[in-house]
Structure 1
Amino acid sequence: MTADAASIPAAPIVYIVDDDPSIRAALEDLLASVGLAATLFGSTRAFLEAAPADAPGCLVLDVRMPGQSGMEFHGQMVERGNRLPVVFVTGHGDIAMSVRAMKAGAIEFLAKPFDNQELLDAIHRGIALDEARRAEDRHRATLKGRFDALADGEKAVMAGVVKGLLNKQIAGMLGVSEITVKVRRRQAMLKMGAKSLPELVRMSDALAIGSWDD
């Protein structure tokens, strides 16, 4: 794969988990009509057994299915840290179930027969959320790579700088000269790609860099 090809964002995928083949087919046709690709599953187990695609996505999940219910499966997703946005669809829902699903992190809970446009709006919202989450993860990974490349002394100075300590205070805590602190501070800023102190602080927050006592 060329560098240009690797930079092209992957097309989003909508995962549909519903035990009714006719519902799956209808949803696939609906998504195709707006240019969205769908991957279909008849159960949560089949979904889990499939290799996840490296692409932004959204999961359309039926609430009541033989075996494991959609609600139970969503709870397991949350526990495992799976952050794929979920849109619930059901023919047997109620207000209490809807509230429970939304509190658990679902982005929408729609009763069958649902309005097609309402479903599409929810799916597009889920895809946008997943794209933003993936972009944030990539940004954090880039920052972590830069931070890991810092020398230990540069990391220590950076930790003091983002806490608002003066060069003199950092020098005293590390047992080095102020000149050394200034040099390490400059190197840390360059290596992190930070053009200002506020930007360096934001990077530190994104990385959740630990305290002096770590």
Structure 2
Amino acid sequence: MTKLKRMVVYLVGFNILIAGISFLVTSTYGQSAWDGVYLAVSNIALLSVGMATFISAASILAVCYILTKDWHVFLSFVTSVVQSLLIDFYLFLVKTLIPSDSIPTRLFLFTTGIILMAIGISIYIQAKYPTNHVDCLMLSISKRFKLNLRKSKLIGDSSAILITLIIANRIPIGTFIVLVSLSPLVQFISDRISKPISNFINRTNYSRY
């Protein structure tokens, strides 16, 4: 039962994360730092966003291994492959269901996307299953340099913005809003849901007779 609950927590959080990414990308006002890298690679290499994500994942996980010297980081590749396959589907779904041809709609997508990403990350890391490549980088930086999640994510995202700037020569202003808001949100939500989720996963149900 515990394994089943962990899987439920993981899947719920992961799907919320992918939905958040899709909301941000569809808004066109900006996205998370690493999604900006994938979009830049996608545009230059004429690949889908999912394929660009897949290619980037291997490089990021290599960095995680360099930081931690732990081969277990490559378990995150499984999650990254699933994310790569799903992102194109979610993008299609969001663009189909929520036409983004007005400013209010785009603002809604942008704001909601940030919140969904923070909730998704905060939930699925509680399951302690392999993270995706970006969150693996965040946790690897945290472990290597003894930093909290907020500071670790800020370092990783700042690196991604620099890479995007080199590739695309421009950064949407909304990306900086995501950069400064997502990390505190992840830390804030994680601090408050870790205990309830842990209780949910480890609680034993007793039958009454």
Comparing both structures, which one devotes a greater share of its residues to helix? 2
Scaled by the length of structure 2, the TM-score of the pair is: 0.28
Q: Between Structure 1 and Structure 2, whose CA radius of gyration is higher?
A: 1
Query: With CA pairs under 8 Å and 6+ residues apart, which has the higher RCO, 1 or 2?
Result: 2
